[in-house]
Each structure stands twice: as C-alpha cells, then as structure tokens.
Structure 1
Amino acid sequence: MIEAVLLALGVMILLIVLGTHIAVGLGLSAMLGVYLMMENFDIVLALLADTAYDAVRNYIFAVIPLFILMGDIVSRSGLAGDVYRLCNRMLIWLPGRLAVSTVLGNAIFAAVSGVSVAAAASFSRIAYPEMDKYQYNRKLALGSIAGSSVLGMLIPPSILLIVWAVMTEMSIGALFVAGVVPGLVLAAMFCGYCVLRALRSPGMAPNVRQDEVASSPDELRRELSGGVGVVVLVSLVLGGLWGGLFTPTEAAGIGVMGALVLGIIRGMKIPDIYQAVLHAGQTAAPIMLLLVAAQLYSRMLAMGGVVPELQHWVTAAELSPFLLILAMMGVWLVMGMFVDSVSIILLTIPVFAPMAQIAGFDALAFAIFGILVIEAGLLTPPFGLVCYTVKGAIPDPSVTLQEIFSAVLPYIAMVLVVAALVLVIPALATWLPAVAF
C-alpha cells in the first residue's frame, strides 16, 4: 500500500515539475495510487465520481465563491479607496501616516476580501500614487503595499483558512476567530515598522500639512459613508458568525447582499455587477476544481494507511518537534516561491497536519502558523506572486521587481516572527476561539 502511495506522489511531483496544472497532477496521481492498491479501474472511477459529487453538493463549499464575490464588489465599488483615504485623514498627526494608512487599509480590506492578491492589486493603484505624490521613499511605499497585503489571508474571512478547514475537517468559524489576534499583532508590527522608519529617517516619509489633505464636504461625506459602510459590513458578517447567528455560508451570503447594497449606493451599474460576478466565478472555479482533486488525493492517502505509517516514522526517527516544524517550514517557504497558496495547502496539509498532531501541536495554532509561513512564501523571490501583482498593478513603469523584493524583506521577517510566536504562545490563536465558541 505505502509503495503505491509513494509511487503516486512521485508521479504527482513529476507532473507538476513538467508544468501540469496542480489539479490535474493531484487527480491523476491519486487515481494512479488507488488503481495500484485496488487493481480495479472501476473502483477508481467510482471513487472519483463519489468524491466529485460529495464536494459539489457540500453546502460549505459555497463559502468560497461568495466571500470572493463580496470582496470583488467592495473593490470595484471604490469602497477600498474610501477606507484608505479615511485612515489617511485620521492619522494626519502620525509619522509615515501614508504607509501606516496602507497597512490599516489592507487590514480592513482583508476583512471583506480574503485574498492577498486582490488587496495588493487594489492598494497598488490607490496608495502608491498618493505616496509618490508626497515623495515617500519608494522602498517604504512598495514594502507597505506588498508586505501588508498578506493580511488578507490571515484576517477573516480568509480563503486559505476556509480551504484549510475543508481539508482538515476543522470548524471554519473557529479558524476565522483564531486568525484575528495574530492578524492584529502582525498589522501592529507592520504599522510600528513604518512609524520607526519615518522617525529614524524623516526624509523617507515627509510630513503632510492638514491643509494638504483638505477635501470638499461632498468628498468628506463620501469617504465617511464608505468607510463606515465597510466597517458595518464587516461587523455584520463576522459578528453574526461569531455570535452564532449565521453559519459560515449564511454569513458569506449576507456579506454579498450587504456589499451589493453598498455598491449600488456607490453607483455600481448592472455591467459592473456582472463583471464582479464573472470575475468571482473565474477566481473560484479553479479553487473548487483543486478541492475536488485534493479530496481524492486525501482519500488515496487514507486508503494507503499513510497516517499510521507517519506516526510510526515520527516515533522511530525520534525527531524533536522543533526539527519537524522546521522541516515543514522549509518546504512551505520553498513551495511558496513557485506554487500558489491554495495549492500548497492542498498538497501538504493531508501529510503535515497528522504529523503536527502526532508531535503534539495544537491544531488551531498549527493552522495559523502554516498560513503565516505560506503567506511569507508569496513574498519571496524569484516568483513571489504578490510582488508580481504589485509590479503589474502599480502605475509606474520605472518600478522594478528587484525593488519590490528588496522592500518586502523586513515584512517577511515580521511574518515569520509572528508565526514563531503563535507556536511558542498557542494562546494567541486559541484564546479567542475558546471565548467565542
């Protein structure tokens, strides 16, 4: 059995290296593994059909496209810009306020988008021109945009947390709540870093006078209504979820309706709504296909007795929990340079989660640790997806990828520090779920 699983995993790695789509590689290798174990192709086809049917009809899977749609409506309606400008206006007294506003704007936008790439694209167009206008140091500006975009995958509702919950059969609500405190700690570290850079080198973030950000009464009302609208939407969705009023799927549906109301108030027309729905579908469809393939892959691992074998291997090897977690961390960081976050979770969690459980790590703390490390991989060269997104979205052709990668290095370090803190102090991830649930 184990030999069949190892051969299937080898085939999957080969297919991915050859450029095959992750979902295809996962699905074909899982089918091969089941065939080698059962020696009956009819069983393979029956398992594939059963897995696909279970995945498609599962009520919880609607969470992913709905939260993506909510974030897309908020982004297209211009509400993200209102949030940024409102934060900017409230922090006029703070050194490096534009960079800090970018971090806070990303944190708030994370609570409605759940996707780091969406945050990076939005704030590249909103925040960078503003910082460039006031002659901010370019590395400080680029770092605050790209670095803080990773908050979108930690602060709920996060697509990665949903996928992790589906793969490990954990509570989506509990994982959402577990990400709040580490997300706020990380956002505070980002803000503190921007302020310290501005204090140490004032020329990097020139002060802006109050009269330079003055706006007309109409603009002020627009910013205030947009910012308050987003806060109310976030409070409604997450408050209802944590308070037990909604299931995750119901919370996502109500979030879409709330975002749609805000978008219509802000002037969205039928073509804009259509484009938001189309884009959400285009984003969600590959994720859903990946989930079907990953569930087949997980069933193949279970049929092959991988978990008991892992338990025996970990016990026999006498690896310390530190070395085990260090090895997982290394795999995630390397994969993050080449593979998207959802695929990393689907490829590794069926193996890593049981190993972490055997080693005695808390499931919630390990999940948040994993999300943080995987997100750090999205910033690392040579193929950090977020950095490429910022490069493509920033309206300044003179910005280079090398500048962006250099600018995010301190943010990668801060993400890894918070990840380590979650492992050392699991209460950062477990305290709030224990209170809320």
Structure 2
Amino acid sequence: MSIELLTLCLILSVFLVFVTGLPVAFSLGSVSMLFTIFLWGPHSLQLITHAALGSMTSFMLVAIPLFILMGNILERSGLAETLFKMVYLWMGPVKGGLAIGTVVICTAMAAMVGVIGAGIVTMGVIALPSMLRRGYNKELAMGAIMAGGALGALIPPSVAMILYSSLGKLSIGKMFLGGIIPGLILSFLYMAFIWIKCYLNPSAGPALSSEETVTWRQKFAALRDSILPMALIVLVLGSIFIGAATPTEASAVGAFGAFLTTVFYRKFSWRMLKEACFRTLKLFSMVMWILIGASCFSRFYMAMGAADLVKGLVTGSGINPWLIIIGMQISLIVLGMLMEDYAIIMIAAPIYIPIVTALGFDPLWFGILFIINMQIAVLTPPYGFALFYMKGLSNEITMAQLYRSIIPFVPLQAVGLVLVMIFPKIALWLPGLMFE
C-alpha cells in the first residue's frame, strides 16, 4: 500500500473515531496502535510506548503545570478582583470604560495564567455583573470578556506556545517574545472597537453616573494594591527574556511568587491552595493525555515516511508557497470549529512545521500565526470553548446572544492574523532583538 493511500486511510480513521465521541487522546492513540500492528506486527508496538514515554519525560513540559499553578493561585486568591477594582476606578468615567478595562485586565491575566479559560471565567464572574448593572449592552460585555480571555493563548506564558515549541523543537523564550506584540495589537484593536462603538452609541457602554464619584486617593490606593501582581509578571517573563532563567525555572519562581503574593495580601488559605492544586492537576492531566496520544500518532506517521511525502508534495506541487500558507490558515480555522485548541496543536503542528520549513518560511513566525488561529478557534462555534465557558456562568445567557457577541471580535482577530502574515517583523522583531 502506498504512503499516500495510507495517509488517506489514517486521516479517515481518525475522524471516524472522533465521530464516535471517544476523547481526542484515546482516538489518536488507538488509531496509531492499530495501524502500527497492521503494518509491522505486534512486536512494533514498542514504537508507540517509546513515543508515550518520551512525551512524559520532556523537561521542557515541566513549565506547563507550574505556570498553570501560578495562574490558579492568583485567580483563586481574589487578586483579579483587586485588578478589576483598579480598572473600575480609573476607567469607569469613560464611555465603554469598564469593557475597555476588562480587556486590559484580561491582557494582564493572560500574562499570569497562560490559559484561556481562567481569564474568561474569572472576568465573567467579576466584570460581567458589574457591567450589566450599569446598563452595558450584554453582547458587548460578553464579547469583550471572551475576546480578552482568548489572549491567554497568545500572550506569554502561554501553555499553547509551550506545546507548539516542544513539538517544533523551537525556543520557548523566542515564542513568548514573538507573541507579545501581536497580543498587544489585538488587545488594542479590541479596545479601539469598544471605544468607537460606545462613542457612537453611548447607551452600549455608559460612563459612571455623577453619583459614583471617585477621588484621586481611591484611584492611587487601588493602583498601589495592583503593583505586586504586575511585578510578579515582569519578574517571571523578564527573567526568561534576558536569559537569567529558563522557562521551566521561571515557572517555578512564578508559582512560588504567586504563593508569597497571596500571603502578603492576607488572601492565603489552605482551601484556596487545595483548589488551585486540584484545578492545576485536572488541566495538566488533560493536556498530557492529549500530548501522549498525539505523540504516538506523530511518531507512527513519521516512521511511515511522512517526511518524504511532505517534502515531495511541497517541492513537486508547483503551488505558490503563500497559497499553501493561506490554505493552512483556513484549515486551522475549520479545525477550530470542530476541535479544542490543544488537540489541533498536537495533530497539525508536527505535520505543518516541516512543510513550512521546506517552503523556506520561519517556523517561529508560522508558530505565531498558528497560535492566533487557536484564539479564533476558541471563539468560533460550534466547538468554541470560550462560548462554553461563558454559557456555564449563567442560565440566562442564550446561545444566540453568545454567537452575536463574538461577531465583531472574530474579524478583528482575522485582521491581526493578516497583519502578522503581511508584516512578519511584528512577530520576529522582538525575538531577534533579544536573542541576537
């Protein structure tokens, strides 16, 4: 059987197993095992076991649970409420200020937690009721929270970036640096849209009433209370960027620093620590199962001769390389409608990265495009995780309202994607500056 036909059978088998409802990790692992036995016999299953063990013993992946733990401690300790109070006092008097401030906090939380769900759930609990009480348009408020929370995939320390880097054998520090400017651009686009919408339609995001006067003393007191969490972010990311610590070492410093921060603000409790550890274990276990399944799938496919197939298709097709890159972006958007972001990374990254390299493009630049697509994935129905997170916060939120709330923000993400495609320096300038 030719490798082309085997590839087609492999892809069809994976999607058929997906349709049965089997989790992604077990779908990929079971298909890999069956095809390995079919092609080379039972004795070849050591290929699968080596792939599984290799994925579990990667030192690089130690950073994932530690960054998640750091974010969970900061989230569960109530420090997000402190940040929202600061933004509420400073931005409240501006039209659309609370929604703009929510995007600011989501951007800051993205630099704390490294995952998408934490920012959406936390701000959904804290910011959404506050905005609705003050007459904000519900769809604008929900859209700002979901789009801002999705920045957790792009702004370091992103778990998605760590996974992509480990699969693509790329520097995590460079990936982190590459995501900063695109993440800030998207954050600015969200805030600009909210401000323009509320300027043209003040009822969509009214400013604080005259009765809710805020003194400068209150503003600076709230700003003072927010200094320590921000300093922790600068310490963790700064130590990576200047080369003082590896991402794994920095993640350990961040987790311990988050613990000390809660003690300093007198928000520490054993219950909080227990909940943070449990949520960390739950999320990391999910990520690792997917990683094990995807590693088995990738190892089998490469042993089957995928590298030669990919190289032959790329060099012999005669298709414009940019059309291939655009086709990849479209395929990632489609996959994002059907699968979770981590699963897409595990499946698509090992296949796409060799193609991108063979075409002569920078895999770091493509990695940022890939992660931006993962942001779009969490917002696009029917499988958009951000929609599920928001829906889970209140039974009063309808799916129709959720779908309408993301309509303005998905095109803004597409604008950010196109900007990075046209101007690669947006993603490559900062890594080149810091690592030269």
Q: TM-score normalised to the size of structure 2?
A: 0.94
Q: How does 1:22-101 map to 2 (within 5 A)?
A: 22-37=24-39, 39-44=40-45, 46-101=46-101
How many angstroms apart in 2 are the aligned matches of 1:424 and 1:36? 45
1:19 paired residue number:
21
Query: Could you report, residue by residue, the CA deviation over 1:167-213 in whole angstroms, capped at 9, with x for unpaired residues?
Result: 11111111011000000111011110111011111121112147616
2:415 paired residue number:
417
2:434 paired residue number:
436
Q: How does 1:276-295 map to 2 (within 5 A)?
A: 276-295=276-295
2:397 paired residue number:
399
Kindly indicate whether the alpha-carbon contact (under 8 Å) linking 2:94 and 2:208 is maintained by their aligned counterparts in 1. Answer: no
1:255 paired residue number:
254
Instruction: Kindly provide the amino acid, as one letter, of the partner of residue 333 in structure 2.
Output: L
- Secondary structure class of the residue paired with 2:392: helix
How many angstroms apart in 1 are the aligned matches of 2:277 and 2:224? 24
Displacement of 1:119 in angstroms is: 0.8
Q: Which segment drifts farther, 99-108 or 25-34?
A: 25-34
1:161 paired residue number:
161
- Secondary structure class of the residue paired with 1:156: coil
Kindly indicate whether the alpha-carbon contact (under 8 Å) linking 1:229 and 1:262 is maintained by their aligned counterparts in 2. Answer: yes
How many angstroms apart in 1 are the aligned matches of 2:58 and 2:370? 25
Instruction: Kindly provide the amino acid, as one letter, of the partner of residue 189 in structure 1.
Output: L
Matching of residue 193 in structure 1 with residue 182 in structure 2? no
- Secondary structure class of the residue paired with 1:406: helix
Q: Which runs of 5+ in 2 are unaligned?
A: none
How many angstroms apart in 2 are the aligned matches of 1:235 and 1:109? 13
How many angstroms apart in 1 are the aligned matches of 2:121 and 2:185? 23
Instruction: Kindly provide the amino acid, as one letter, of the partner of residue 12 in structure 1.
Output: V
Alignment size in residue pairs: 432
How many angstroms apart in 2 are the aligned matches of 1:146 and 1:383? 14
Displacement of 1:96 in angstroms is: 1.0
How many angstroms apart in 2 are the aligned matches of 1:383 and 1:55? 27
Q: TM-score normalised to the size of structure 1?
A: 0.94
How many angstroms apart in 2 are the aligned matches of 1:346 and 1:84? 35
How many angstroms apart in 1 are the aligned matches of 2:421 and 2:100? 27
Displacement of 1:335 in angstroms is: 1.8
> Relative to structure 1, is the Cα distance of residues 215 and 34 closer, same or farther in structure 2, using a 3 angstrom cutoff?
farther
Q: How does 1:297-336 map to 2 (within 5 A)?
A: 297-336=297-336
Displacement of 1:382 in angstroms is: 2.2
Kindly indicate whether the alpha-carbon contact (under 8 Å) linking 2:340 and 2:377 is maintained by their aligned counterparts in 1. Answer: no
Aligned-residue sequence identity (percent) comes to 29
1:224 paired residue number:
223
Kindly indicate whether the alpha-carbon contact (under 8 Å) linking 2:112 and 2:157 is maintained by their aligned counterparts in 1. Answer: yes
Q: Which runs of 5+ in 1 are unaligned?
A: none
1:202 paired residue number:
202
> Relative to structure 1, is the Cα distance of residues 249 and 425 closer, same or farther in structure 2, using a 3 angstrom cutoff?
same
How many angstroms apart in 2 are the aligned matches of 1:360 and 1:213? 58
Query: Could you report, residue by residue, the CA deviation over 1:74-93 in whole angstroms, capped at 9, with x for unpaired residues?
Result: 11011112112212322245
Displacement of 1:256 in angstroms is: 0.3
1:151 paired residue number:
151
CA RMSD of aligned residues (A): 2.0
> Relative to structure 1, is the Cα distance of residues 218 and 135 closer, same or farther in structure 2, using a 3 angstrom cutoff?
closer
Query: Could you report, residue by residue, the CA deviation over 1:201-253 in whole angstroms, capped at 9, with x for unpaired residues?
Result: 112111214761648989974x4354211111100100011111111111111
Kindly indicate whether the alpha-carbon contact (under 8 Å) linking 2:48 and 2:299 is maintained by their aligned counterparts in 1. Answer: no
Displacement of 1:354 in angstroms is: 1.7
Displacement of 1:349 in angstroms is: 1.2
Kindly indicate whether the alpha-carbon contact (under 8 Å) linking 1:136 and 1:204 is maintained by their aligned counterparts in 2. Answer: yes
